[in-house]
A and B are shown apart, each in its own frame.
Chain A
Amino acid sequence: MIFVFDGAMGTMLQQAGLAPGDCPELWNVENPAAVTAIHRRYVETGADIIETNTFGANRIKLSHYGLENRVAELNAAAAKAARAACGPKTKIAGSVGPTGKFIAPLGELSFDDAYEVYYEQISALDAAGVDMVIIETVIDIQEMRAALLAVKAATAKPVVCQLSFGADGRTLTGTDPRTAAIVLEAMGADIIGANCSLGPAQLLPVVAELAAACSLPVSVQPNAGMPELVNGQTVFPMSPAEMGEWTPKLVAAGATYLGGCCGTTPEHIKAIKAALGPEVKPAPRTAAVRTALTSRSQTVYLGAGLPTVLIGERINPTGRKALAAEIREGSFAAVKREALEQVKAGAKVLDVNMGVPGIDQTAAMATAVTELSVLVDVPLAIDTTDAAALEAGLKAFPGRALINSVSAEPERLEQFLPLAKKYGAAVLCLPIAPGGVPATADERVNIAGDIINAALAAGLRPQDLLLDPLVLTVAADARAAQETLATLRAYRRHFGYPAVMGLSNVSYGLPRRDLMNAAFCAMALDAGLDAPILNPYDPAMSDMLSATAALLGHDPQGQRYSTVNAGISAGPAAAPAHAADILAAVKQAVTSGQKEAVAPLVRQALAEGHSPLAITDQGLTAAMNEVGEAFGKGRCFLPQVMLAAETMRAAFLTLKEELPAHRADSLGTVVLATVRGDIHDLGKNIVAALMENNGFRVVDLGKDVPAEEIVAAAKKENADVVGLCALMTTTMPQIDIAVTALKAAGIPARSIVGGAVLTAEYAAQAGADAYAGNGVEAVNIAKRFVGK
């Protein structure tokens, strides 16, 4: 069956006389006849479902008109106005639009507040007797989740979830149609679709992607093309006939609910209806039932025949004192770092455990999940035994998470399964029963079967279930690993759901746990493990995984394996230690910025009897000169100069360490400052670093430094050179003031000025002794000034 929605309401209201800036929903009470008349035209031209004039009838949107206390009244009046236009078979969909505010952390509206706002409106629509609810034009998946939860709490009526996608095929906050379909189907949407923002041509691939990713009916309500403002009116260019032509194509792509959004009129709906002749049949749907997890912006499928999915285990404070301490103090810096690094190391899902004794685990989980949801784009596994922490994590996560895990203990089944259903999460079934930990594969299969039955009874679907075979310590029980492997095989035989497990228990108490874990993982992958929870940094493990991918057929002809492993023999660039002359080697280390290599070379040079002076002159200074020259000629770039300077610094520090009595002669003293009013200091810091590592003593006065302070420091430090920098037109005059003050005070130091907006002409006019365009130039000028 194919159904036709109505077209635009706003466009029609404006044609009927709604003035720009007036509240469209207020017409439900002030001019209901006009609203009914619009509905009636849509019914007459073929709409099977009409949408109430309540798109902005939520408390937040209505507050723009001072109508926030009239939510129930305006929604009820809208349903009444729609009812008056209905034919015998017409259905009414209560229209629910966005609040216009982003939900935290993308904005300032809390998830709970958004939920309340939606709950209020949807309850009103439900009480007023709409037949279904349509949440539409939403650009953020998290806002859609809040609205969908509110629908589920407010009514048992069907709900249509329509997101608004951009020209890049994603919602503005990054969700693609596939991910949206998976998240919303799991949370209990009845129809999933797209509306607004784009015309039918651009929405066609969106419809196809939605249809391919879920088994629900797909709806589409395009704009009448892309709008243009003509003589103060927003005009949509697509004609009804053209809209009609797109209709069979949208049906072929998978849509069975079609209507129009902005700019569409009863004529467009008439054309859509006319295009749906008896020959237009719903497209056959072939979406396979697959287990998927998602983040806001990405979907990960798991299961037999698919590549192994690495679940990173590192966000877990158990046995990690530093991480636990940070979480306890409310800092999530280490958690975020672990997330980024694990993803970089190949983790496709991250396990998040906040099990620090004595903390508010619920708050910690909410914060961790919130922070991670805007930092990485992989799905999360919420790892907790605490129902409140679980709910906090599931709520905060703008995707479909995995619950790690649900055992067969009654309390866990009662608390966790409804949360999984509510938030559309997948569930990892852990075969532990009240009687204890089952030793054999048979017992585990039985208990897993009980959890599966309970989950299905709680309304979860087969694609929501994953199985943990249970990993015990081989050091304690020689059969431990064998039973796990047998369980994996039995799971695959009996159930076929994806298998997930944490590996590291197996090697507890043994040396070289990395080796044991990797070997066990390889065996488990063969026995049916789809997603190991592991330490993705472990080199033995990643080597093993690249090999097993090829062995299991996930890496055809071992191509990736070859790419990864062929590079290994290449090794790092040749170390400078091979240079014949040790001083040349020191120099080369500095020019090529090999900070780690320079200290041993300096020690070697000292051991070979070279004096610190010789090392400095022939090794270090010579190198910096060469780098400076290359920079001047455009052959090397600022970060490379800085690398050389850092290497130089490491060399100086080594000299100081080896010969504490040795004091390198200073070329002279440089006082540096960013002038008053200017708070930029990157450029000045670069100059300081280069001066210091070219042998000057540097007195860095910092930024926003008044002229008097510069004069005082130049006098006190007996400066040879004063370097001044300003970056903005507004602070440039401070250069003049400082230079004048230095002269007035009779300071003999020569001045060098520079900074983004400064020029040689300006420097001359200000009376400075020199202008330097960059740090290297500044060093060269300073050397000239001190006669070196």
Chain B
Amino acid sequence: MGGYMQTYNPPLTKIDKEETRRYAGLKGAVAFPEQLLDTACAEALLLARPRAVWNIYPYEPATGTIAAPAPLRLAGDRVRGHLTGVGEAAVLAITIGPALEEEVSRLFAAGEYTAGLLLDAAGTAAVEQAADAADAFIADQAARRGLKAKSRFSPGYGDWAITDQPAMVALADGGHISLTVTPSCMLVPRKSVTAVIGLAPAGEKNGRGCAGCPQTDCIARRELSQ
């Protein structure tokens, strides 16, 4: 556990068109030319360079702290609640690189607004797919140790302040994939994500999980029958 930075450049041979449609704000739209979406997805495949990097650290649920050499107390009740019962946390960073967003800017400048908008949406789908692939790998490795990976949680979700972004990038070794953070806590390249994945014991036979959590007034708390 911990200590070894891991990297994975997930291969993307398809961009999820339905997700692209959703990110473009087209959910529910009828009679929108499908070919424009297809083109955006194909362009995104050509431009995306997915790269992921992560480290796994011990996690202290009582204080909501990732126990890295430079510990990080997560700035959000929701994320700390999400990580209840978690003993380890994977901190990961994913980017698809700058080429796609540069092309989006170029398209807008050239008056190709729709193509730009759709490519931007396809880029979001691409970074999420890359994150899913890295996530699946982390979950697979954890499962081999009897750990279950919780769903990915990112700064900006719920009340988790994006001011944690610089620390998240550092903990994930985001510099290794050329990921940086602006003083206003934005990721560069923009089509990037940082996230924490909690690794918790599968099942609750050990009496951890909800029973082991100090947040006794949590609305999501499960009452164990035994």
> A residues engaging B (CB < 8 A)?
64, 100-102, 105-108, 139, 166, 172-174, 196-197, 226-232, 234-235, 262, 296-297, 333, 336-337, 340-341, 344, 373-377, 593, 636-640, 642-643, 645-646, 649, 677-682, 685-686, 688-689, 728-731
Contact = CB atoms under 8 A, between A and B. Distances in A.
B9 to A, nearest CB: 5
Contact of A229 (B33, B163, B206): B206
B75 to A, nearest CB: 12
Given A174-B11, A227-B145, A639 B114 contact: yes
Contact of A197 (B108, B137, B140, B185): B140
A196 B114 contact: no
B114 A680 contact: no
Given A172-B136, A638-B117, A689-B108, A227 B144 contact: yes
Interface in B145-160: 145-147
Nearest to A376: B13
25 contacts: A64-B3, A105-B9, A106-B10, A106-B11, A166-B136, A228-B201, A228-B205, A230-B203, A340-B45, A340-B46, A344-B42, A376-B13, A637-B28, A638-B26, A639-B24, A640-B32, A643-B114, A679-B190, A680-B190, A682-B120, A686-B113, A686-B117, A689-B111, A730-B163, A730-B185
Q: Residue among A230, A235, A297, A639 with the most chain B CB within 10 A?
A: A639
Contacts of A643: 33, 36, 113-114
B216 interface: no
Contacts of A333: 46
B25 interface: yes
Contact of A107 (B8, B33, B116): B8
Contact of B8 (A106, A232, A645, A680): A106
B105 A196 contact: no
Contacts of B45: 340, 375
Main secondary structure of the interface of A (DSSP, over half): loop
Nearest to A702: B105
Nearest to A198: B143
Contacts of B201: 228-230
Contacts of B6: 100
Nearest to B184: A677
B42 A639 contact: no
B11 A230 contact: no
A728 B190 CA distance: 13
B7 A107 contact: yes
Given A227-B202, A228-B205, A374-B11, A197 B144 contact: yes
A679 B190 CA distance: 8
Contacts of B113: 642-643, 645-646, 685-686, 689
Nearest to A236: B146
Interface of B: 3-4, 6-13, 24-26, 28-29, 32-33, 36, 38, 42, 45-46, 104-105, 108, 111-114, 116-118, 120, 136-137, 140, 143-147, 161-163, 182-186, 188, 190, 201-203, 205-206
Given A639-B24, A682-B117, A377 B13 contact: yes
B114 A642 contact: yes
Given A102-B7, A639-B118, A235 B146 contact: yes
B13 A375 contact: yes
Given A106-B9, A336-B46, A685-B108, A228 B146 contact: yes
Contacts of B11: 105-106, 173-174, 296, 373-375
Given A229-B146, A340-B45, A679-B188, A646 B137 contact: no
Given A646-B112, A728-B184, 15 more contacts: A102-B7, A166-B136, A172-B140, A197-B144, A229-B145, A230-B206, A337-B46, A374-B9, A637-B28, A637-B32, A639-B117, A639-B118, A642-B113, A643-B113, A681-B105
A370 B144 CA distance: 30
Nearest to B99: A333
A683 to B, nearest CB: 10
Contacts, number: 159
A487 B24 CA distance: 54
Contact of A234 (B3, B29, B145, B184): B145
Interface-central residue, B9, B108, B114, by most chain A CB under 10 Å: B114
Most buried by B among A196, A375, A649: A375
A685 to B, nearest CB: 4
Contacts of A64: 3-4
A269 to B, nearest CB: 20
Contact of A340 (B10, B42, B147, B186): B42
B110 to A, nearest CB: 10
A196 B182 CA distance: 43
Nearest to A106: B9
Contact of B32 (A102, A344, A639, A689): A639
Contacts of A227: 143-146, 202
Nearest to A652: B111
B162 A166 contact: no
Contacts of A637: 24-26, 28-29, 32
B123 to A, nearest CB: 10
A639 B140 contact: no
The 3 closest A-B pairs by CB, nearest first: A677-B184, A229-B146, A374-B11
B126 to A, nearest CB: 12
Nearest to B136: A172
Nearest to A295: B13
A373 B12 CA distance: 10
Given A107-B7, A642-B117, A679 B202 contact: no
Contact of B186 (A139, A376, A680, A682): A680
A627 to B, nearest CB: 13
Contacts of A139: 140
Contacts of B8: 102, 106-107
B26 A639 contact: yes
- Which of A173, A228, A688 is packed against the most chain B CB atoms within 10 Å? A228
- Max count, chain B CB within 10 A of own CB: residue among A64, A373, A646, A682: A682
Contacts of B42: 340-341, 344
A262 B140 CA distance: 14
A724 B184 CA distance: 17
Contact of A102 (B9, B112, B114, B186): B9
A263 B118 CA distance: 49
Contacts of B38: 344
Nearest to B11: A374
Most buried by A among B13, B24, B105, B136: B13
A232 B212 CA distance: 14
Contact of A678 (B137, B143, B186): B186
Contacts of A101: 7
B7 A108 contact: yes
B147 A685 contact: no
B216 to A, nearest CB: 22
A231 B206 contact: yes
Contact of B144 (A262, A645, A728): A262
A228 B203 contact: yes
A365 B158 CA distance: 48
A174 B53 CA distance: 19
A639 B25 contact: yes
Contacts of A680: 186, 190
A32 B129 CA distance: 46
Contacts of B162: 728-730
A567 to B, nearest CB: 13
B182 A234 contact: no
A337 B120 CA distance: 19
A642 B184 CA distance: 30
A262 B13 CA distance: 32
Nearest to B25: A638
Contacts of A678: 184, 186
B217 to A, nearest CB: 27
Contacts of A166: 136, 140
